[in-house]
Homo-oligomer: A and B are copies of this chain.
Amino acid sequence: MGESRRVTLKDIARSLGVSVNTVSRALADKDSVGEDTRARIKAEAARLGYVPNSMARSLVLGSAMTLGLVITNPSNPFYSQLISTIEQRGRTHGYSLMLLVTEESPEVDRRAAETLLRWGVDGALVVPVQGEGEHWERLDESGIPLVCLNRDLPTLDLDFVGVDYEHGAYEATRHLIDGGARSLRLLEEDLPISPVAERTAGFRKALAEAGISSAGDPVISVPTRRRESLALPWEPADAYRLAQDIVDQGDLPDAVMVGNDYFALGVYRALTEAGLRVGDDVLVGGFGDHPFSAYLSPGLTTVRLPAAQIGTAAVDLLLNRIRGGSHGGGDNAAAEKRRERCDLVVRASSRASKGTMT
Contact = CB atoms under 8 A, between A and B. Distances in A.
Q: Which of A64, A96, A230 has the most chain B CB atoms closer than 10 A to its own CB?
A: A96
A2 B87 contact: no
Interface stretch (A23-31, A55-63, A208-216): A55-63
A103 interface: yes
Interface string A86-114: 01100100001111110100000000001
A291 B232 contact: yes
Given A4-B143, A96-B100, A234-B291, 14 more contacts: A2-B329, A4-B326, A6-B143, A54-B118, A55-B55, A73-B84, A74-B83, A75-B77, A81-B231, A96-B115, A99-B99, A235-B291, A265-B295, A297-B297
Contact of A51 (B51, B56, B100, B114): B114
Contact of A74 (B2, B5, B80): B80
Contacts of A115: 96
Contact of A2 (B55, B77, B142, B296): B142
Place the interface of chain A in its size category: 35 or more
A330 B80 CA distance: 36
A37 interface: no
Interface string A138-160: 00011100000000000000000
A240 to B, nearest CB: 8
A83 B101 contact: yes
Contacts of A328: 2-4
B117 A51 contact: yes
Interface string A61-79: 0001000010001110100
Contact of A233 (B3, B272, B291, B296): B291
A307 interface: yes
B231 A120 contact: no
A86 to B, nearest CB: 9
Contacts of A119: 54-55, 96
B265 A292 contact: yes
A262 interface: yes
